[in-house]
Structures are given as structure tokens and as C-alpha cells.
Amino acid sequence: MKRNYLLIVFVFVLPLLLGGCKDNEQKINPVKATTSQMKKQEDIVNDFMIMQVDNQGFPQSQGVFDYKKGVLHIVKQYIPEIQSSEEDTMLQEKRNYRQKIAADFQKTFPNQQLEQEPYSVYQRSIRNCKITDDGNHLYIHSSDYSIRFDYVTENKLIDENYVEYQIYR
């Protein structure tokens, strides 16, 4: 009986004692945190590339935003039309599909025509664009174009169409 009592005390009390012997947690220096946040809010001048990793249902097969030496290069390709098996919903789905593509295309490539060839790749270069990063959003804007990316993680972003991208700095 005495052995069992000592065993129980040893098994339950020893971990409690050892748990109390851990190191103190380091506190965050608020001055450093404020400084790093201020740096994130500055305009971005370094080169970076944002590449699509998942379209999340938006009809775009590839999307790349490449910022080098002050010039933003945009490359996009849209997915050919979907095939629906149900006759009654097919027309509405195709209309919605085309509207999504047309709206994004008009915003991104206003001086180009959307081609009938389903695998066309569209490109555009923008000079004098301003890029800001507030830690939650990455903004790219110029006189005739703007887009906002929301951070999902430190290196994953989503755009206004919920397309998911990876950023490479």
C-alpha cells in the first residue's frame, strides 16, 4: 500500500514540479514591433513576383504579376468555357462565366480585345506604378490600373476575384 502511495505521488507530483521549472517567456519589445510595422507601410521598391497557385473557381488558368525595376508586367490566361451537362443551367452558367472573364479582362487589359481563341495569353506592362504594403494588403496602382491583394499568410495572397497567389521576393 505504501509503495502504491509513493508511486502515485511520484507520477502526479513530479510532473507538476518539473512544469514549474520552465524558463520565463521573452516579452516582445514594443519599439521593435512598431518599427517593423512602419517599414511594412512604406512603398515597395524591391522586385517581386506574384504567381497564381489556385484559381478558386475563377476562370483564369494563369496569372503573373512581375515587378522589376519599377515596371509591372502582367500576364494572364483565361480558362476555355465550361461544359455543363444540364441543359437548363448551361446558358446561365456560360453567361456568368463570360461576364467574369470580360470584367476582369476589361479592368486588366483595357486597350486590348478579348480573342475568341480560348488559350490566348494576354500581357501588359505598366510603368510608374506605386506599390504599398500595409501588412494586411498589397496595393498596386497607377493612373489607369489598381488591384488589391489580401494576405492569407506571409507568402500567400488572394486578389479581388479570390484567386490565390504566391509572392516571391
**Confidence at residue 119, expressed as pLDDT on a 0 to 100 scale:** 86
Q: How far apart are CA 55 and CA 35, in angstroms?
A: 35
Whether residue 98 is predicted with pLDDT greater than 70 in this model: the reply is yes
Domain count, the chain: 1
Q: State mean pLDDT over 49-59.
A: 95
In a domain, 143, yes or no: yes
Whether residue 108 is predicted with pLDDT greater than 90 in this model: the reply is yes
In a domain, 16, yes or no: no
**Confidence at residue 24, expressed as pLDDT on a 0 to 100 scale:** 59
Q: How far apart are CA 168 and CA 166, in angstroms?
A: 7
Q: Cα torsion for 44, 68, 152, 103, to the nearest 10°?
A: 110
> Where in the sequence is the domain holding 96, given as residue range(s)?
39-83+91-168
Single-letter code of the amino acid located at 48 = F
Q: State mean pLDDT over 46-53.
A: 95
**Confidence at residue 34, expressed as pLDDT on a 0 to 100 scale:** 42
Q: State mean pLDDT over 143-152.
A: 95
